[in-house]
Homo-oligomer: A and B are copies of this chain.
Amino acid sequence: MNDTKDRLVTATAELFRQRGYNATAVKQIVEMAGAPFASLYHFFPGGKEELGAETIRQSGAIYGQLIDVFFHGGDVAAETEAFFCAAADTVRDSGYADACPIATVALEVASTNEVLRVATADVFDDWLDTITGRYVAAGIDPAAARTLSVSVLALLEGAFLLARARRDEAHVVTAGATAALAVRDAVDRTTTKRPAPKAKAARARPSSRAQPS
């Protein structure tokens, strides 16, 4: 019977989405889950940190599956835009509470907790791999698909941030239009075999490190 364990993770995921890691008390978690207090430490001997890592990976996997719902091998730019539009509706309907399940935690722990930071990094890795696979399947050059995925995910996460802070889900739709533009550009460059234009930054030269992740 790991029903209790699942309920703990589900409750933690909801609290993480809305309040982040540090503001979520274990007491709140067990109350929301309707679980006995000691059960948390039975299933997660590592305490809050272990439960947090498990929740990050689990809800990351669940959200990753949402990508598959929107891509069916049609117009990949339009499908990308549809994903953003659906996300915008979700953000609004939840009262600007539910957007990305791990973004808040990721920023909180990036410089303070290596275990949880790696968990969030792994989830982003998975998402980027999944999105890249979809763009490659649409005929985009693999390296270009990878950088495109980074930009699309950045647009989504950044738009979530702006939408929640400013209480305006239209930002997510706006970001979706830009994402679609970038996808179309990548598709065009692939079909016409044109290389990506080299950066010509105005003042500071571009970073010397490799651009693709």
Chain A residues close to B by CB (< 8 Å): 18-20, 22-23, 70, 72, 74-75, 78-79, 81-82, 85-86, 88-89, 92, 95-97, 103-104, 106-108, 110-112, 117, 120-121, 124-125, 147-148, 150-151, 153-159, 161-162, 164-178, 180-182, 185, 196, 199-207, 209-213
Contact A199 B182 (CB under 8 A): no
Contact B82 A165 (CB under 8 A): no
Instruction: Give the secondary structure class of A's interface.
Output: helix
Within the assembled complex, what's the spacing in Å between the Cα atoms of A95 and B114? 13
* Closest chain B residue, CB of each to CB of A203: B82
Contact A171 B204 (CB under 8 A): no
Q: How far is the CB of A198 from chain B (nearest CB, A)?
A: 10
Number of copies: 2
Q: How far is the CB of A141 from chain B (nearest CB, A)?
A: 15
Neighbouring B residues of A89 by C-beta, 8 Å: 204, 207
Contact B158 A171 (CB under 8 A): no
Among B19, B104, B207, which residue has its beta carbon within 8 angstroms of that of A88? B207
Neighbouring B residues of A121 by C-beta, 8 Å: 165-167
Neighbouring B residues of A125 by C-beta, 8 Å: 166
Neighbouring B residues of A209 by C-beta, 8 Å: 88, 92, 169-170, 173
